[in-house]
Structure 1
Amino acid sequence: MAKKSFVQGAVILGIAGIIIKVLGAFFRIPLANLIGEEGMGYYQTAYPIYVLFLTLATAGIPIAISRMVSERIAVDDYYEAHKVFRVSFILLFCIGIFSAAICFFGAEQLVGFMGNPGARMAMMAIAPALLFVPMQAAYRGYFQGMQNMKPTAVSQVTEQFCRVGVGLFLAYYLISYGKQHAAAGASFGATAGAIGGVVTVVFIYLYMRGSLEHNIQRTKRRSTEKSSSILAKIFIIAIPVTIGAAIMPIMNAIDVSIVMRRLQETGWTYAQANGMYGQLTGMAGPLINFPQVLTQAVAMSLVPAVAAAYKQKDMHFLRENVQTGLRMAIIIGLPCALGLMALSEPIMLLLYPMQRESALSAAPCLFIMAFGVIFLSTVQTLTGVLQGVGKQMIPVRNLFIGALAKVVITYTLTGVESINVKGAAIGTVAAYMIAATLNVAAVKKYTGARFDLMLTYVKPIVSTLVMAGAAVLVHRVCLGVLGNALATLLAVSIAGAVYCILLFVTRSIRREEIVNLPKGRALLKLMDKFRK
């Protein structure tokens, strides 16, 4: 198998991720304006439970599929790679049935445990998605193992289109029946999206079936590995990954209970506590998720690339991928973090004009959580590296240590009346900071990678600080003339352009890395013309 950089796959998934998040904004923002903080409280109570079960069902196995397929293709064993896919699909289908049944039939007990019984219908509406998402995860893992990220990207975008369209339509239609019904309608959008994603990825698989079968038929050596052996290897990889991926959703689910109870213990009413939690997770939280999708694209693309290099014992190419991966995470995470911090209040007012008071209250939460984006980007990327070299338990341990700190900090600070729900945001940032530091040390130890201080950290930080200053300056100058909405959009646009220019001026991105981008050679020629 020829060497293949992970960068193109990361760009493809990143572009898809941006489209998905833009569509998500068209979902979350109108939804929050439509059903308000009360409805978002119901929606956000059901959603973390869904994410937890989804994580348990799909977080580890697709990574295992991707890594095992990549390792087999690295030695041209396409037959065994396809067998891994078949076995894992059956496994994921069974897990999906079990997860969906628990969330649907046990909805009342689950949301009751979370202290928000009004979210029962939302939980039931989102439960069927747990049947369909694992099915498409098997296909995605198979394609990712071949370092083909296009099927994943296309199916993700289709899934989001269906989710947004159906979810908003049902929320609007059901709002007259009450906010609990509207939240349930919004939740059902995830089920509709999951169905759309499955149909799309199956169609792509059938379209590519001829070339896939050709590669399988030309495999020189037919392995006699039993399905039970493949299952055992899947579990060896998947269980630690799943545990690691489940840690933060579990902590977020616990957050609901801690935050709701601690706020009420300090004098806030149930309605006020529910509204404040809605501000944290339903209004500020989605903005933090936006940069995540870009760094997650890097991590997903890194796993098969690192696994293939590790299988072939090509340590030089492995270290190149690791170093480039961390630099991409920093280059993406830093501007997102400081940009959101610099314009936290204007951005909240831009996105939630019909909920002005709630938007202003949520702005401090966004400011705090935005700082954590830097560390979350590092955690996600280096977790992919450690999974690729077979050290999947290391990031689990590191994140668990961070999560324990989060519980203590959240419980302590949320009980302080003046800090209130911001304590949960501080706890989250602390968790990722601890996990990121430990992951960097682990990657250095197990891969031998060394990171250029100037290239990896200093140059991106300088570019980001100038960008943040430009954003604040433009917004302040234009606010009185254009109003907040246009001033904020202009500030973000100019700041983004300034940052991109500075990356090239400071040479934070090298020429050989530009070549690896889609249409990279054409971009490089265009840059050279401007330099002349």
Structure 2
Amino acid sequence: MAKKSFMQGAVILGIAGLIIKVMGAFFRIPLANFIGDEGMGYYQTAYPIYVLFLTLATAGIPIAISKLVSERIAVDQHYEAYRVFRVSFILLFSIGICSSAILFFGSGAIVKAIGNPGAKFAMMAIAPALMFVPIMAAYRGYFQGMQNMKPTATSQVVEQFFRVATGLSLAYYLVGKGREYAAAGASFGATAGAITGLVAIMGLYLLHQKKLHKDIDRTSHIIGERSSKILGKIFIIAVPVTIGAAIMPIMNTIDVGIVMRRLQETGWTETAANGLYGQLTGMAAPLINFPQVLTQAIAMSLVPAIAAAYKQKDMKFLNYNVRLGLRTAILIGLPCAFGLMTLSEPIMLLLYPMQKASAVSAAPCLFIMAFGVIFLSTVQTLTGVLQGLGKPIIPVINLFIGAIVKIVLTYTLTGIDSINVKGAAIGTVAAYIVASTLNIIAVKRLIGVKFDVGLTYIKPVASALTMSAVVWFSYRMAYGFLGNAISTVIAVAIGVLVYGAMLFLTKAITNEELAYLPKGKKIVQIVNKIKR
């Protein structure tokens, strides 16, 4: 198997992730206008429960598939890699049927227990998606194990497109029949997206089938592991990953009770406390998700690349990918963090012009949480490294320790009147700092990798600080003439150009690394011409 860096896959998944986020934003805004707060209440009752079921069903298994497939292909065992896919397909198919049936037939009891019976139709409409998404996850894991991220990216975009188009169309059509029916129509968008996404990735599998089966048939004589042993290995990897994926959502749920209670204990009314928490979680926190899309793509691409190099005992290439992975995460996280910190208030006013007082009040929370983007980026990336090394339980333990720190700090700081809800933001950042530090220590201990301080930290920080200064100056210069919205957009655009230029001026990116990108050779040629 030829050596493959994770970079091409990360770029493909990152672009797909950004497209999906944009389409998701396009879905939410008109949907709220169509079905109102009552309809959104029904929709938001069903959707988080669906996501919980989906997380439990698919958070860890695709990563397990990609790791096991990559390890087998690395030693030319294509038939055994195919058997991993086949076993996992049956497993995920079974999980999909069970989880879908539970949500569909149990919808009445679930919404009754929640206290929102009007959400029953929405829950029934979204339940069938749980039958198709796990099957799609099996195909995605198989392709990712071969370090081919295009089928995953394509199916994700197709899935989201049909989710948005179908959900909005049905919500608009059904709103006249009642808000609960409109919410059900919006929820059915997830089912339509799952079906079309599965059809897309199955079609891509058929296109690759001839080439795949040539290698599978060639290596079918190799005697491999029993299906039960493969299944056991999938669970060994998948269970810790799933637990890890559930830690922060669970901690955030606990966070609600801590923040609301502590704010009221310091004199805030229930309404005021709810408003402050809404500013933190509803206005500031969603902005942190955009850079997270890119670093999550790095983590997903790293798992098979690290697993293959580790299986082949190619420590030089393994260390190279680890160093490049961390640097890439920092190169993405730093400008996002510094940019959001520099323009925290202007960005909030740009996005929420109808809620100016709340936007200004939420800006300090965004400033604090933006700093955490740097460490969240490294947490995700190093988690991918540790999963590729076959140590999935280590990042789970480290994140759990970080979550405990978060709870303690949130409880303590939120109870201080002058800090209030900003204490929850500080607690979140602290959790990522702790988890990131522990992950770095673990990776160094396991493979002895050494990071170039200048290349990894100093040059990216210098580039980001320069960008931040130029962004601040550009915004202040333009604000007096153009107002907040246009000035913010201009400052962000200038920041992107300045940061890109600084990376080349400081030589924070090498030609070798650029060559690993899609169309990398052409990019290197263009960069070299500009340098001349």
When normalised by structure 2's length, the TM-score is 0.91
What is residue 494 of structure 1 aligned with on the other side?
Answer: 494
What is residue 217 of structure 1 aligned with on the other side?
Answer: 217
Distance 1:295 1:459 in 2: 19
What is residue 229 of structure 1 aligned with on the other side?
Answer: 229
Taking a change above 3 Å as real, the CA distance of residues 499 and 207 of structure 1, as seen in their structure-2 partners, is same
Distance 1:114 1:370 in 2: 33
1:457 aligns with 2:457: yes
Structure 1 unaligned blocks of 5 or more? none
* Superposed CA offset, 1:43-90 (max 9, x none): 666554433332221111111100110011111111111111111011
What is residue 367 of structure 1 aligned with on the other side?
Answer: 367
1:335 aligns with 2:347: no
What is residue 522 of structure 2 aligned with on the other side?
Answer: 522
The Cα of 1:202 is off from its aligned counterpart by 1.4
For the Cα contact (< 8 Å) 1:323–1:451, is it kept in 2? Answer: yes
Matched residue SS, 2:408: helix
Counterpart of 1:471, as a letter, is: V
What is residue 240 of structure 1 aligned with on the other side?
Answer: 240
Taking a change above 3 Å as real, the CA distance of residues 252 and 499 of structure 1, as seen in their structure-2 partners, is same
* Superposed CA offset, 1:32-52 (max 9, x none): 677788877776665544333
For the Cα contact (< 8 Å) 1:135–1:198, is it kept in 2? Answer: yes
Distance 2:424 2:43 in 1: 19
Structure 2 unaligned blocks of 5 or more? none
For the Cα contact (< 8 Å) 1:38–1:275, is it kept in 2? Answer: no
Taking a change above 3 Å as real, the CA distance of residues 368 and 112 of structure 1, as seen in their structure-2 partners, is farther
Matched residue SS, 2:219: coil
Distance 2:466 2:296 in 1: 26
What is residue 149 of structure 2 aligned with on the other side?
Answer: 149
Counterpart of 1:152, as a letter, is: T
What is residue 70 of structure 1 aligned with on the other side?
Answer: 70
Distance 1:487 1:501 in 2: 21
For the Cα contact (< 8 Å) 2:79–2:220, is it kept in 1? Answer: no
Counterpart of 2:63, as a letter, is: I
The Cα of 1:206 is off from its aligned counterpart by 1.7
Matched residue SS, 1:390: coil
What is residue 469 of structure 1 aligned with on the other side?
Answer: 469
Distance 1:382 1:176 in 2: 50
For the Cα contact (< 8 Å) 2:156–2:197, is it kept in 1? Answer: yes
Distance 2:151 2:89 in 1: 16
Distance 2:198 2:172 in 1: 26
Equivalence map 1:91-170=2 (5 Å): 91-106=91-106, 125-170=125-170
Taking a change above 3 Å as real, the CA distance of residues 224 and 458 of structure 1, as seen in their structure-2 partners, is closer
What is residue 252 of structure 1 aligned with on the other side?
Answer: 252
What is residue 7 of structure 2 aligned with on the other side?
Answer: 7
Distance 1:279 1:171 in 2: 28
When normalised by structure 1's length, the TM-score is 0.91
Distance 1:201 1:184 in 2: 26
Q: Which moved more, 1:280-289 or 1:393-402?
A: 280-289
* Superposed CA offset, 1:389-441 (max 9, x none): 11111111101111122223334444555544433332221211110010000
1:297 aligns with 2:297: yes
1:437 aligns with 2:437: yes
Counterpart of 1:401, as a letter, is: I
The Cα of 1:283 is off from its aligned counterpart by 3.1
Taking a change above 3 Å as real, the CA distance of residues 445 and 101 of structure 1, as seen in their structure-2 partners, is same
Distance 1:107 1:255 in 2: 27
State the number of aligned residues. 532
The Cα of 1:174 is off from its aligned counterpart by 6.2
Distance 2:444 2:37 in 1: 44
For the Cα contact (< 8 Å) 1:67–1:388, is it kept in 2? Answer: yes
Distance 1:242 1:188 in 2: 26
Distance 2:26 2:263 in 1: 30
Matched residue SS, 1:243: helix
Taking a change above 3 Å as real, the CA distance of residues 278 and 300 of structure 1, as seen in their structure-2 partners, is same
